[in-house]
Amino acid sequence: MTDIDPLQNRCVLITGGAKRLGAAIARAMHGAGARVALHCLHSRAEAEQLATEFNSLRADSATVVTADIRQVDAIAGLVETVIERFGRLDVLVNNASSFFPTPVGEITLRHWEDLIGTNLRGPLFVSQAAAPALRDARGSIINMADIHGQRPLKRHTVYSAAKAGLIMMTLSLARELGPEVRVNAIAPGPVLWPEAGLPTALKDEIVAKTALKRAGTPDDIAQMALFLAAAAPYVTGQVIAVDGGRSI
């Protein structure tokens, strides 16, 4: 990318944008000149703090929107609020996600609704609601997939199935929304550990299975998202692993 602000005057909606990967992506997009809408559900305080930081750097460049994307009825209003606030929508980052184990024999309907709702159903209906504005802007959708959508994670059957569905949704939407809208996915490897934590020995084992023999950082994902949003006009329908070679 050679432009100083390649996303100047563009609007980016990031679901789950208050912290972790979402916040890293928001910082990259805002740093490239975009106005950002930070979606959250339970992390309103963190989202407001981040928006305040962005607005102090560039006035009227960030806002916070709240909705439960597991509830389809709330999604249209979420997208409408962003468009009313900034007048357009150029990039949608479907980042919000639940993650927890579901061992076979212990899976409940609540587990299914939560994991499918945040990782597959929500992104589909947010994308559908955003599609008209994205078509007008000739914009793009970036889905946060997972290498475990292609290689299942033990004890995480529902999560792995949801991410596999998100990957196929990425390919399908790329065909459906082209040529106006590009749709791609990022499949992170070990760049952030679960908030609940992992034993050190398990972390070391996972990192040892990467080709680069080290963990990544949220900025590795954020820079890929920025590339797809601002510098990849001929890239669509792709699932790009940012995993240090874990998938090989």
CA atoms within 13 A on the CB side of 196: 4
The full set of domain ranges for the chain reads 11-242
Q: What is the pLDDT of residues 24-82, one digit of tens each?
A: 999 999 999 999 999 999 999 999 999 999 999 999 999 999 999 999 999 999 999 99
Q: How many other C-beta atoms lie within 10 A of the C-beta of residue 34?
A: 29
* DSSP calls for the chain: ---SSTTTT-EEEETT-SSHHHHHHHHHHHHTT-EEEEEESS-HHHHHHHHHHHHHHSTT-EEEEE--TTSHHHHHHHHHHHHHHHS---EEEE-------B-TTS--HHHHHHHHIIIIIHHHHHHHHHHHHHHHHT-EEEEE--GGGTSPPTTBHHHHHHHHHHHHHHHHHHHHHTTT-EEEEEEE-SSS--TT---HHHHHHHHHTSSSSS---HHHHHHHHHHHHHS-TT--S-EEEESTTTT-
- pLDDT value, residue 197: 75
- pLDDT value, residue 208: 96
3-class DSSP string for 33-88 = CCEEEEEECCCHHHHHHHHHHHHHHCCCCEEEEECCCCCHHHHHHHHHHHHHHHCC
- pLDDT value, residue 198: 82
- pLDDT value, residue 195: 80
- Which residues are identified as catalytic? 159
2 has a pLDDT exceeding 60: no
Contact 40, 16 (CB under 8 A): yes
Q: Which of 72, 54, 73 is nearest to 62 (CA)?
A: 54
Q: What is the pLDDT of residues 106-122, one digit of tens each?
A: 999 999 999 999 999 99
Q: What is the pLDDT of residues 136-188, one digit of tens each?
A: 999 999 999 999 999 999 999 999 999 999 999 999 999 999 999 999 999 99
Residue 10: which pLDDT band, with cuts at 50, 70 and 90? very high
Fold (topology level) of 11-242: Rossmann fold (3.40.50)
Q: What is the pLDDT of residues 203-221, one digit of tens each?
A: 999 999 999 999 999 999 9
